[in-house]
Amino acid sequence: MKKTTIVFILLIAVMNTYSQNFKEYYFRFDINDKTELNELTKIISIDKVVDHTVFAYSTSLDFDKFKELGYNYTFIENAKSSKAVVATNIEEMANWNKYPTYDVYVEMMNSYATSYPNICKLINVGTTANGRSLLTLKISDNVNVEENEPEFFYTSTMHGDETTGFALMLRLIDSLATNYGSVPEITNLIDSIEIYINPNSNPDGTYGSDNNTISYPTRTNGNGVDINRNFPDPSEGDHPDGKAWQPETKAMMAFANEHRFTMSANFHGGIEVANYPWDNTYRRHPDDDWFLRVSRDYATSCQNNSPAGYFDDENNGITNGADWYVVYGGRQDYFTYYHNSREITFEISNTKTVSGSDLPDFWNYNKKALFQFMRECLYGISGTVKDANGNPLDAMIRIQNHDTDLDSSMVFTDPDVGDYHRPIEPGTYDIIASSTGYINDTIKNISVIYNNLQIADYILEFDSIQFEIIHEIINDTLDIGDSTEHSFIIKNIGKKDLEYSLFLDFPTKSSSWIELSKKSGLVIPENNDTIIIFLNATELSQGHYHSMLELSVQNKVNYYYPIDLYIRTPQFIDDINTTQNIKIYPNPFDQYLEIEFIPLFNNVTITLYNYQGLKLGENTFKVKKEIKNHISINHKNFNIQNLTNGIYFLKISAGNKEITKRILKILR
């Protein structure tokens, strides 16, 4: 039986204020087509999509931007997030049917570290916007030593009102710590994996202004920002939400940089489903079959250990992220792309802040799935990469004809130990190990079988060729029509002639945006060669373009240099002194648009773009003063009646002034 959540419609906004300088709104509205979400997700924080109804959050800082789009919306009392019963001391947590106060939470985390010092180590990852600690517990058999073991990360409640995972992560810590040495399954996990658990990554949202209660917690952090939209994004660049990185975001990014997480998961609430990459694109990850299987395994385990109707949303408990709705700036894509991990989002309760009395049930539903998911990082392919003297190397492990630069699906060794761990579905693979200054090595025909581990160790030969590469990291953002260039200098500091070749790998949709001034050459000792890399956005639409520059030296050693280009949508100019002089109506529109100018312009150029920044048409109009500087946009000059529903942009140019306005097409 499907669970039903009752919502109460209000005539005024239901909001959370506490001591923050913002109000948080929860509302719903209808869309005509899911493509509308690709732009809406940049403006509001989408909670879920049911058929054509969108449930979303916004704060008073951003809500006006949404209202400008003209959607009819209804505020909702967030009955899923309400006051929770809290434990005021550790003893009251014994039955796991309460949430801890913030102080009790901190005390519990410290207690595990002091009570089980051989296997538990407390790490303060950083500080929140309101000064609370982001606590993470490392659990491992040699907790103070880096070993040849996969690193695994569980984290929860980056949306502060989604607290079920918070309680379950604390109970998971307790189960691991108290059963080590007595329960073989748990002992094996702790002996084989370096486990990290962060129960609450947004305590400001959970506790608000009062450490002693969880009373109508907020989705956002103390600054009114959705942390799960605030991470760098492979498609939209460093700041997809248009906001500065939050303290919680920066702390998690720094923590990820210090580790090589093989797998990770973050826990949410509001629906019951396993959500796997990608969130920001409909393209499938090279390991899509693996992601689909482990997501299905989690859902099936939950269903087998719960009453009928639990964890069966979307595709019977699983969904590809973008197929559900597109998200930019999410933690899942950030870890998977930028840190070469495999992360899944588990939405584990329809109710966001479930009653404390229900928490033991949710533990029983999820317990086996939590352990089962952890075990997955012990399967696939693993090994070490070292030099001839046994020193660990910082190396890339790439599965030939499988991994892609576009998806950053290759994995890297932990340079302190030299170990790598590569979960993958059964099959036969050729695997290449490469490290700067060493000759690549390939092990062929490695056969992977289900729930098993294959070992592939490498010893790389030092490259005697001596040269330096002088170059910039190419990670540019351009407007449509712009161009730029970069220098790539090969300097021969050895005593032999150096022969090189350059290749460009194009995993993205176009290759016209990048050119090299030369593709091969010979550099004599104590000389250098300069190659110019040209980037041109003239024929591109909005989006992320990626290439890998491959340098081959003496036809035997390859080096790789990523090139990333982000093309922006036409920029908004919100200067009220400019925009107040132009009226555009109706907006939303159907068959026509009217534009009126208050000052007198002679010639005006109108350019129409879709939401991706692709130019759809352009016309220059001679404005007729006798009809009040008026322009009609219709089927005769732009064929707008054939446009699909969605968001578009009008760029209006007159003289040396230019503005861009957002418009919305809705078929009436």
Kindly list the catalytic residues. 347
Q: Closest by alpha carbon to 73, among 19, 30, 42, 9?
A: 30
CB-based burial, 169-195: b 16+ in 10 Å, e otherwise: bbbbbebbbeebeeeeebbebbebbbb
DSSP 528-583: EEEEEEEEE-TT--SEEEEEEEEEEETTTEEEEEEEEEEEEPPPP---HHHHTTEE
* CA 199 – CA 86 distance, rounded (Å): 16
Q: Closest by alpha carbon to 140, among 118, 122, 113?
A: 118
* CA 173 – CA 120 distance, rounded (Å): 9
CB-based burial, 560-578: b 16+ in 10 Å, e otherwise: bbebbbbbbbbeeeeeeee
Residue 287 identity: D
* CA 338 – CA 329 distance, rounded (Å): 12
Contact 195, 189 (CB under 8 A): yes
* CA 534 – CA 644 distance, rounded (Å): 35
Which regions of 175-224 does DSSP assign to beta strands (E)? 194-198
Cis (ω within 30 of 0) for the bond into 240?
no
Residues found in the chain: 668
Contact 159, 150 (CB under 8 A): no
* CA 106 – CA 90 distance, rounded (Å): 10
Q: 163 CB contacts (<8 Å, ≥6 apart)?
A: 84, 99, 157, 206, 214, 217, 269, 352, 353, 354
The token pair at 393 is 């190397």
* CA 291 – CA 279 distance, rounded (Å): 13
Q: Is 456 exposed, middle or buried (0-12, 13-18, 19+ CB in 10 A)?
A: middle
The token pair at 81 is 């997030």
